Each structure stands twice: as structure tokens, then as C-alpha cells.
Structure 1
Amino acid sequence: MTTPRSTLPRPFRRRTATVATLAVAALLAAVPATSATARDRAPDAPQALAAPDIPLANVKAHLTQFQSIATANGGNRAHGRPGYKASLDYVRAKLDAAGFTTTVQQFTSSGATGYNLIADWPGGDPNQVLMAGAHLDSVSSGPGINDNGSGSAAVLETALAVSRAQLQPTKHLRFAWWGAEELGLVGSKYYVNSLATGDRSRIAGYINLDMVGSPNPGYFVYDDDPAIEKVFKDWYAGIGVPTEIETEGDGRSDHASFKNAGIPVGGLFTGASRTKTAAQATKWGGTAGQAFDRCYHSSCDTTTNINDTALDRNSDALAHAVWTLGTTTSTPPGSTYENTTDVAVPDNGAAVTSTVSVTDRAGNAPATLQVGVDIKHTWRGDLVVDLLAPDGTAYRLKNSSSSDSADNVIATYTVNASAEPANGAWRLRVQDVAAQDTGYIDSWKLTF
């Protein structure tokens, strides 16, 4: 029978606490000094295959074709106009010849028939689909070579590089070209809305390229899905080019159709009508006080409206993302991330934390996130325990209780963390809120 805390003589508790304190101190002294980072444990992920260099000349050859198509069809490639369908036919012929399975999806918008083009590369896990896409239509006032022939050409040439390499991805690769984006993301919305719930859940990520060759370019990365964002940021850091978070077109391109359906998204952008600042010109070159693309939605958006360096970099960055994300296996459900570094919990003192870093998961944490806790303590009722999400949101695991007189907290808690991105620094926070007893965090883990 456990003696109620209120009946325990205080001097007896002090003696017990003193012995326990010495024991804990001895245990901590015996543990080798090891950083939390060094002892975080997660499953070893397979190394991704290195992506090939995407030939700039090939990407520009596609732009030349888009320009020729626009010139022969009233100066544009807009939805409902012959230039759009001719552009789609050009892209489809390239993909068919390269071994893709292509599908043309029809929809109606503004009284005209629109078309999406979907291209699937054989193989890969059909329950883990990685998509990359771009809108193929222009506005009616111009040929749309930067907006968005640039993204369409980069996605096309990356797909053709997959074929040249005869890539055998772990994820299933799907590429897409959307119609009627300029009328309100019509084509991509139609595609997403036509997917069954199960098919939506199988899309592990969607990467969007819209305007990636602006003549006065910036280097912007979408900050939606942390895993996709990190792949792009790391690639650009590797070539010494700083990036900024994309804000000008946020929600104005086809990634929004996927994001609104709960699908992880990311992408690249070099700027539209917003003005480049002096700080950005210092960082990236180009002209401060001038729009990233002075020909945005204008007749001068021709093949002369392209910055070759930006187009080349973004094409290579997309290929890197497709190879990196498409040739590694997603960490499966049941994967565990653990920190076994001891952290002393001061008696009646400030809260302490222990960190577990998660970097290899797409999307949000599950609604059944398992938090395994092993805290050695001589009076567990003194302890308040919280899980802190990467953004600082606290999930209470355990309250203090004067009647909870047992030793130690060794338990697994279930947390609905589905509102939180899975990747990031998760922390266990522990505070001793009453006097006379001590302890330490022995270990803790997250199981997804």
C-alpha cells in the first residue's frame, strides 16, 4: 500500500529526497557527456541518386517552340485559343516518344474546352506519388514565354531527363501541365477535385514551377511543405545563391489547388510585377527599382524576356528535387525518433527541455502521434510534462498532482498533432513544481 503524501512526515521525505538526490547525481555523473544532437536516433534513410544537369539549350528549345506556336496562332497560347492546344500537343508528343503514359483531361471554362496534360513514368510506389507541374496557358495579350513557358519547359525537360536516365524511382513520378491557370487555377482545381479521396492521399507532394526565368530575377522558394522547401534551399545554398520565401504569388498559382486539398506542396518562382529592392539587387544582381518581370502579362513576354541563368538554375533545382524526393523511400509509419541524453530536472525549479529533430517526413504529423516518456523521479506528482511542437504549440501530457506519490513517469501518450508539420525540432518540456524531490529525463521518443 502506498502511503498518502499528506501523512508522510516532512523530515522523512527530506532524508529520502537527499538519498535520491545523491543517487541521481551519481547516475548523471556516470553518463558520458554527449550532445543531444549526436544521440538523436532516427532510421537511416537511403541515399538519393544524384540528378543530372538539365541542358539549358534543351529548355530554351522548348521555349522557341512555344514562341513559334504563339506567333502562328494570333500571338498567344491562351485557354480556348488554338495556340494552347498546339502547345499541349507539342508537349504530349515529346512525352509519348520518351515512354511516358500520357492522359489529356478535358474541362470547360468560360464557354471553351480546356485541357490538362498528365504524364506518368512507369514504376515507383503507386501509394507515394510525387508530382511536378506548371501551367501551360498564357494570357491572351502575349505568348507567355516566361509566364509560364519557362516553368512548362523546365518541367518537360526534367521529365525527359527521367526518361534518358531510365530512372527507377521509389516513388511514382507524375508530371502535369495545367490549362486555364490564368482564369483562376481552373485546370488544376478540376484535376484535384476529380480525384477520389484515396487518390489525393496517395500524392506525397506536388512541386509547382511558375515564372522561373524572369529577366530581373529573384530566387524565391515556397515555404509550404518543410521537406520540399528544404530540398530547394539546400540545393541553392550548395551553389552559393541565397533564397527568399515566395510571397508575391502565394496562392495565385496551381500549387494552391493542391494545398487546399491537404496535399504537401512546394515550388520555385523568380518574380513577377513586384519591384526588386536594393537589398535584393545586392544579393542577386539585376536592377533595383525595376520589376522582376517588366513584361508580365504583356505582349513583350517573348523569348527575349528570359534570364538564362535563372532558367538554368531553376531547371537544375527541379531535377534535384525530383531525384532527391523521388528516389528515396519515405519514412514508413511506425518510425521512431529518440533522444537518450539525460537532462536533470531541478527541484521546484525552472522547466527544462529535451529535443528530438525530425527532418525526413512529408506533410503533417499524425493524429495519433505517440510520445514515449521515461523520466526518473522520486515523486512523480511534482511533475508537469508537455510536448512542444516545432512552432511552440504546447500539448499537455501530464499535470502535477499532490496525491500522485509513485516514482518515475514511464508512459506513452497519444497526441493529435495533425495540425503541425512533421518536420522540425520537437521538445519535451518537464517542470518540477514542488519541493523536496528530484529527477531527470532519462529518454523520450516520438513514434509516427
Structure 2
Amino acid sequence: MTHSVHRRAVAVTALALAGLLAAVVPTAAATDTAAAPGAAPSPAALAAPDIPLANVRAHLTDLQSIATANGGNRAHGRAGYKASVDHVKAKLDAAGFTTTVQQFTSSGATGYNLIADWPGGDANRILMAGAHLDSVSSGPGINDNGSGSAGVLETALAVSRAQLQPDKHLRFAWWGAEELGLVGSRYYVNNLAATDRSKITGYLNFDMIGSPNPGYFVYDDDPAIEKTFKDYFAGLGVPTEIETEGDGRSDHASFKNVGIPVGGLFTGASRTKSTAQAQKWGGTAGQAFDRCYHSSCDTTSNISDTALDRNSDAIAHAVWTLSAGTTVPPDGDVYENAADVSVPDNGAAVTSSVTVSGRTGNAPSALQVGVDIKHTWRGDLVIDLVAPDGTAYRLKNSSGSDSADNVITTYTVNASSEAANGTWRLRVQDVAAQDTGYIDSWKLTF
């Protein structure tokens, strides 16, 4: 997981790559393997396989060996990172994936993203799963983020073993230079045409899934993806919490910022596990989730096998589930305001209103609040939903470490105590200097 980045993002100079984005759409030959109309139900409708912990652990051992042989790390611009890319690519090529190595330049060094497409599925509906493959320069990065990289790799190999033919097209990714500010994933997203971005139905991110003193955190971004993960852990009897420590600091932010639905899992980094968290998850209260975060001791001994096993299985469950059919919640009634409202820099709060009428009773317990705010530093923003009676529901707090652009997401609010009918307002305030923006649109879905 990356450090919080500076107010002004790292400049990235792209290398010219002729035909690089061909990986966006599978080749004709690959598409021919998709199930024909009227064929038997897709295997994606079946339960995902158990992901063998021993296999995931073996990938971590490989990454540790690569780091050890290359100066103790797998950082951007270092030999250990390129060796990691080559190693993962070889396994995917042997398993029947179509792989593409995408190059970019950051901090004067060449970086690499690895993209792997599984043949078949609807090329107009793409489900992606990814993890950053680079480490910091101070250590081998086995939890951060060998763990996510290994879990995604083994899930991709399980897709191959099962010869899965999902309804959606599957794409897996391993990102470079995440530790320098999400550079690789931003490069990938920024070089997708708008039509290709619109084909991605969801991006699942896995950054640190084996912390030695683990928590079980789920991203609260896209409701359907969030529910998929929560339901899985509920089935194991494992309680979850909403992920807040790394919000906006890993590669899902690159996708979220352009309106692509995102979700993911996280087991904690440098924050301290509370007594309440230790009571429900085990482990040690008063100690960091990962005491070796961004340190030389982030080795193969810095892993909880239980957390790694559970989260790897959860990755497979999400890939199998979300690649089958539409997997989107049914449409409700939508009330939207698309008029732009400027948000003054370090100024007073502004509001945008929608009026709901013709409904009976109260608002739902899972009221969906879709927000599209264009802003050059979203960490400056405080956002509230204000009910007709004046009750405010906090959607987003300001955060000095949240350096990304824009707030394009859907929040879920328990508004069951509020009358549905009336004027609802989105209230937005910029509480710091230097950056500006505006409310582009927002909507309520009942």
C-alpha cells in the first residue's frame, strides 16, 4: 500500500506503446471460446473452488526468493520488480492467459503493469481483479503486497484449472509503482478510451490480505461488490468492518476516480488493533495490524495463514459470483439533480437539492446516494446528505492524506427514520485551501 502522496501528483511520462491497449478487448480467436447461446449454464453460477493455502504460500516464497536475489526488495525501477513481473507472467502464459506487459516511466525509471485476459466472456462486460506487485525499497514486501498479488494469481490459476466460462470477460492485473502514488494503475486507466472504461463492470482490489495481526476490512464503495464480500465472510462467521485506513491510497482509487465500480479487501497496516477488534478477531490489542509495514521484516514470516487463506478464498468467491450474469441490484426509483454547483475553495458549504414526492412512508434503510463531484483534491471535502427535516448524515469527512481527484461513488445511508417525501439536499464544503471543484450531479435511489 502506498504512502500518502504529495499535494501535487508524481508526473508520469508515458512511453509510446503501439497497440498496447489491444488487451482491452480479447482477440477474435479468444472470443470464439465463449459459451454458445443455449449452452449449459455457465460454471460461474457454481460455487468457487477452495483456493489452496499452500499454493498461495508458494507464490510468496517465490517472491521472497526474488527479493533476496535482488538486493532485498522488489521496488519500482529495481531488478527485483522486473523479475517479479516475469515470474508471474510465465505462470499465466502457461495457464492459457493472454498477457500484456504495459510500460510507463516514473521517477526516471521504467515501470511495468502486467495484464492477463482469460479467453471468452462478454467483451463488453469486463470484471477485473488486481493487486500491486511492487514493494517499497526497504524490504521484500511480502504482505505489502505479495499477499494480494499471490491471492489474485492463484485465483487466476484456479480459473484456468476450472476452464471457467463466465458470462463476463475476466481480466487480472498486477500494478507497478503503486508505492510511488498509484502510478501504474493510473497510467492504465488514463490510457483507456472512454468506451473501454465503460466496459469494466467492476474492479476488485487486494492490497495486504495477510497481515500478521489481522482485521477483516471490506471497501464500502460499490454496494453490490461490498455485499458480495460481506456475505462471504458472514457465511464463515467472521465479522467485518468498513475499510478506512487505506481509503484512496491503493489502486482501486484510479478506477473509482473515473466512475468504475470498485471494491476490495484489506487486513490492516500500521494502525493499532483496538480491544474490541481483538475480541472479535483474535490477535493482540494495542499492536499494529502489521508491525512490519514498509519495513525490512515484511518477509514470509510476516503473514497470518488464516487471514491469507480466508481472503484468497474470498477473492475467488467474488470473481466467480460477480462474473456470472448481471450481478447488479434491481433498479429503484431515481431522483437526480444534474445542475452544476461550484464549491468555493476553503469556503462556505453549498447545497444541491432533489425533491421526492408521491411516495408513502419512510425512506429505505439502504438509501443509495450517488455522488459525482469534480474536485482537484477530494481530501478537502466534507459531504453530508441532509434529510427534509434537517437531519444531516455524514457521507465523507475531510482527510489530508486523501490526495486523489474527484468523488465519484455511491454511499448507503440508513434513512429509515426519515419521511421519504420532501426536499433532500447534498451539502458539500471545501475546508482547505488551494483546490477547487463543483458538484457535477447527484442522485437518490429508493
Is the CA contact (8 Å cut-off) linking 2:221 and 2:410 kept in structure 1? Answer: no
Kept after mapping to 2: 8 A contact 1:273/1:293: yes
Q: Does 1:265 align with 2:262?
A: yes
Distance 1:329 1:422, change over 3 A: farther
Q: Relative to structure 1, is the Cα distance of residues 365 and 99 closer, same or farther in structure 2, using a 3 angstrom cutoff?
A: farther
- Match of 2:305? 308
Any unmatched runs of 5+ in structure 1?
1-45, 339-350, 367-390, 395-417, 432-445
Alpha carbons 1:49, 1:327 under 8 Å: kept: no
Spell out the pairing of 1:298-447 with structure 2 (5 A cutoff): 298-330=295-327, 352-353=360-361, 421=410, 429=420
* Residues 114 and 175, structure 2, Cα contact 8 Å, conserved in 1: yes
Aligned 1:41-52 pairs, distance under 5 A: 48-52=45-49
User: Shift of the alpha carbon at 1:352?
Assistant: 3.9
Shift of 1:128: 1.2
User: Residue 170 and residue 393 in structure 1: after superposition, are their counterparts in 2 closer, same or farther (change >3 A)?
Assistant: farther
**Structure 1 pair 213–429 and aligned structure 2 pair: CA distance change class (3 A):** closer
- The TM-score with structure 2 as length reference comes to 0.68
Secondary structure of residue in 1 paired with 2:151: helix
Per-residue deviation, 1:421: 3.6
Give secondary structure in 2 for the equivalent of 1:108. Answer: strand
Gaps of 5+ in 2: 1-42, 334-358, 373-384, 389-406, 423-443
What SS does the corresponding residue of 2:91 show, helix, strand or coil?
Answer: helix
Equivalent in the alignment of 2:92: 95
C-alpha displacement of 1:124 = 1.2
Q: Does structure 2 conserve the Cα–Cα contact (< 8 Å) formed by 1:337 and 1:356?
A: no
Deviations 1:200-233, CA, capped at 9 Å, x for gaps: 1111111100000000000001111111111101
Amino acid at match of 1:122: P
Matches within 5 A, 1:158-177: 158-177=155-174
Offset at residue 125 of structure 1 (A)? 1.3
Q: Deviations over 1:120-177 (max 9, x none)?
A: 1111111111110000000111000000000000000001111111111111111000
Aligned to 1:206: 203
Which amino acid letter does the alignment assign opposite residue 192 of structure 1? Answer: V
- Could you tell me whether the CA contact under 8 Å between 1:365 and 1:420 is conserved in 2? yes
Aligned partner letter, 2:276: A
Q: Report the Cα offset of residue 329 of structure 1.
A: 2.4
Q: 1:138 aligns with which of 121, 124, 135?
A: 135
Aligned amino acid, residue 106 of structure 2: S
Distance 1:152 1:171 in 2: 22
> Are 1:112 and 2:109 matched, yes or no?
yes
Q: Aligned runs of 1:28-43 on 2, under 5 Å? A: none
2:216 equivalent among 215, 219, 222? 219
Find out whether 1:294 has 2:302 as its counterpart: no
| Percent identity (aligned) | 78
Instruction: Find the aligned partners of 1:66 and 1:246 in 2 and give their Cα distance.
Output: 26
How far apart, in 2, do the equivalents of 1:420 and 1:135 lie?
A: 22
Cross-structure match for 2:50? 53
Q: How many residues align?
A: 327
Q: Return the offset for 1:337.
A: 5.3
Cα separation, partners in 2 of 1:114 and 1:393, compared to 1, 3 Å:
farther
Instruction: Name the residue aligned to 1:191.
Output: 188
Moved more, 225-234 or 47-56: 47-56
Question: Are the equivalent residues in 2 in contact too, given 1:48–1:325 (CA < 8 A)?
Answer: no
- Residues in 1 aligned to 2:61 and 2:409: alpha-carbon distance in whole angstroms: 44
1:100 is displaced (CA, Å) by: 0.6
Structure with higher Rg: it is 1
Shift of 1:328: 2.2
Q: What is the CA distance between 1:419 and its match in structure 2?
A: 7.7
> Cα distance, 1:393 vs. partner?
6.0
1:77 aligns with 2:85: no
Conserved in 1, the CA contact under 8 Å of 2:102 and 2:114? yes
> How far is the alpha carbon of 1:187 from its aligned partner?
0.3
Q: RMSD of the alignment, in Å?
A: 3.1
User: Equivalent residue of 1:329, what SS?
Assistant: coil
CA–CA separation in structure 1 for the residues paired with 2:413 and 2:117: 32
